[in-house]
Amino acid sequence: FLHPFTFMNNPLQATAEEVRQTYPCLTKGEGAWVYDDAGNRYLYLSTAVPTVGLGNRRVIQAMTEQYETLSFASTCAQGHPFANQLSERLTRIAHHEHAMVFFSNDGSGAVETAMKLVRQYYRSKGEPQRTRFLSFEGSYHGTTFGSGSVTHMGIKESFGPGLEGCFSIPAPHLYRPPVAGDEAAFEQYCLEQLEKTILTLGADTIAAILIEPIQGVNGVVLFPQDFWQKVQCIARRYDLLLIADEVGTGLGRTGHWLASHHYGIKPDLVALSKGLTGGYFPMGATIISEEIIAELYKEGGIFLHGSTLCGHPVACVAALTILEMIEQDGLLEQARQRGEWILNRLKQSLLDHPQVGDIRGMGMMLAIELVSNRETKTSVSFAWSRAFTATLRQAGILANFFNGVLSMYPPLTLSDDEADYLVTRLIDVLAKMPK
Ligand code: PMP
């Protein structure tokens, strides 16, 4: 078994055994913890999926009851109350009271749905030439042909030319800015590039701008607080739709229902997945504004897209239970506060460490960027990275280490003791690493 990302980025030609050591074989999960086939226990931080932890009894019980009453129905062909309830809940969360929700099977499917929808929207409006998409450098949007084509991070080269008409705009990465100068200067540069691209291509050839409010796969990359509002302004000025890919950031991960809320924007479409069902069942969802729906369904129009398993009743019940828990147990507030506590403690203890370039995050989406030289910001070597990942694992932490960035996604339910464990172990591991 070779992990796909390791397989693609395998400069040392790691053997299957070495890959196994980096990607342990998990046999059990409980709350914030997982266990491997050798009985080792790890704090599980690898993906933004588990919001309420693993093996949660309340979610399992609701799902079990659902299996017993209606174990399958396809929303392509029939309705069921749980899909309706979940749609209502999601549209309220997105502050789009009259929007609609389209269910799919994963995050890529949710982005792909959004891309196809906006194209059909413009065709319906008599503007079929609006087919292009703009997205940002460093973004990750998925693996399907469309979502892969708007993904910027190097991955698309592996399948040759992507979908025609997808363009990447520089993004004002706060630690690795695209141009020299202060924050305002590189933010301005990116906005100018966006506007220039729109004018060069012609606004009436563009379908939508896709954003990932905080770039997850790229290493929890945050942008200046008002950047997305300015992007939204440009989208409105040129009459372009705005798609927010909140597959990673959505549904509590950042301590807000949506990261878009934190940044004060209201996208026309929102793609969700990971935290939606917290890993209990695969599911994606796309929230679509009323205006788009009204256009698409005028005169009996239909959106010819969908897959057999979408809107699965067990997935809907898992999602409804998780959303209820987030609300009833105050998990947004908890994620905000505990995330801030972790960030502060890491900064207090590690900002002077010679290999720590940056410590950043929001809510339960955290990262440490490791460099071999703090002046030049040169990334750590592959050998160092491998040793680091192995030491982390020995210390009982399973997190993502990609391109020199350690990304960490604790569940929103992380306890004080678990947060303390995370910080203490990380400080300890970094103290052990060769300088
Ligand atoms: N968008 C974002 C922002 C993601 O982080 C991911 C998954 N890493 C996707 C889309 C694709 O989701 P999936 O892997 O479920 O297809």
Measured distance between the N- and C-terminal CA atoms of the chain, rounded to whole angstroms: 33
Whether 227 and 115 share a structural domain? yes
Backbone angles phi, psi at 353, to 5 degrees: -65, 135
CA of 267 to the centre of ligand 1 (A): 18
pLDDT tens for the chain, 435 residues long, are 344 444 445 545 566 666 666 678 899 999 999 999 889 999 999 999 999 999 999 999 999 999 999 999 988 888 899 999 999 999 999 988 788 999 999 999 999 999 999 999 999 999 999 999 999 999 999 999 999 999 987 656 667 788 999 999 999 999 999 898 899 999 999 999 999 999 999 999 999 999 999 999 999 999 999 999 999 999 999 999 999 999 999 999 999 999 999 999 999 999 999 999 999 999 999 999 999 999 988 877 777 788 899 999 999 999 999 999 999 999 999 999 999 999 999 999 999 999 999 999 999 999 999 999 999 999 999 889 989 988 999 999 999 998 999 999 999 999 999 999 999 999 999 999 987
User: Domain limits at 265?
Assistant: 57-328
CA of 108 to the centre of ligand 1 (A): 6
Q: Which of 122, 173, 116 is nearest to 147 (CA)?
A: 116
C-beta of residue 335 within 8 angstroms of C-beta of residue 262: no
C-beta of residue 431 within 8 angstroms of C-beta of residue 356: no
Which atom number of ligand 1 is nearest to the Cα of residue 273? 15
Which atom number of ligand 1 is nearest to the Cα of residue 274? 15
Ligand 1 within 6 A of CB of 113: no
Whether 197 and 289 share a structural domain? yes
Closest Cα to atom 13 of ligand 1: 107
Whether 206 and 313 share a structural domain? yes
- Distance of alpha carbon 367 from alpha carbon 378, whole angstroms: 17
Which atom number of ligand 1 is nearest to the Cα of residue 48? 5
Ligand 1 within 6 A of CB of 210: no
CA of 83 to the centre of ligand 1 (A): 22
Quote the number of domains for the chain. Answer: 2
CATH code of 428's domain? 3.90.1150.10
C-beta of residue 379 within 8 angstroms of C-beta of residue 401: no
The pick from 215, 245, 247, 400 for probing ligand 1's pocket by mutation, whose C-beta has the most ligand atoms within 8 angstroms, reads 247
Walk across the sheet containing 26-30 and list its strands. Answer: 26-30, 33-36, 41-44, 397-398
Amino acid letter, residue 104: S
- At 17 the pLDDT is 66
Whether 178 and 315 share a structural domain? yes
3-state secondary structure 87-131: HHHHHHHCCCCCCEEEEECCHHHHHHHHHHHHHHHHHHCCCCCCC
Which atom number of ligand 1 is nearest to the Cα of residue 212? 3
**pLDDT for 344-371, tens place per residue?**
999 999 999 999 999 999 999 999 999 9
Whether 51 and 170 share a structural domain? no
CATH code of 264's domain? 3.40.640.10
Whether 359 and 315 share a structural domain? no
3-class SS of residue 430: helix
Whether 25 and 38 share a structural domain? yes
- At 239 the pLDDT is 95
End residue of a domain, out of 328, 358, 390? 328
**Contacts for 100 with CB less than 8 Å, ≥ 6 apart:** 87, 91, 287, 288, 290, 293
- Distance of alpha carbon 356 from alpha carbon 369, whole angstroms: 6
Ligand 1 within 6 A of CB of 253: no
Return the ∠ at Cα 320 (arms to 318 and 323), rounded to 5°.
105
What's the predicted TM-score (pTM) here? 0.95
Whether 113 and 193 share a structural domain? yes
CA of 140 to the centre of ligand 1 (A): 7
- Distance of alpha carbon 17 from alpha carbon 10, whole angstroms: 13
Whether 198 and 237 share a structural domain? yes
Closest Cα to atom 10 of ligand 1: 141
Closest Cα to atom 15 of ligand 1: 107
Ligand 1 within 6 A of CB of 138: no
CA of 389 to the centre of ligand 1 (A): 23
- DSSP assignment of 24-77: --EEEEEBTEEEETT--EEEE-S-S--SS-BS-HHHHHHHHHHHHH-----TTT
CA of 381 to the centre of ligand 1 (A): 27
Whether 257 and 338 share a structural domain? no
Biggest distance spanned by C-alpha atoms of the chain: 67
* Number of residues in the chain: 435
Residue with tokens 């050839």, as numbered in its chain: 205
Which atom number of ligand 1 is nearest to the Cα of residue 246? 3
Whether 105 and 79 share a structural domain? yes
Closest Cα to atom 5 of ligand 1: 248
Distance from the Cα of residue 429 to its chain's centroid:
27
End residue of a domain, out of 273, 304, 328? 328
- Distance of alpha carbon 227 from alpha carbon 170, whole angstroms: 12
Whether 293 and 360 share a structural domain? no
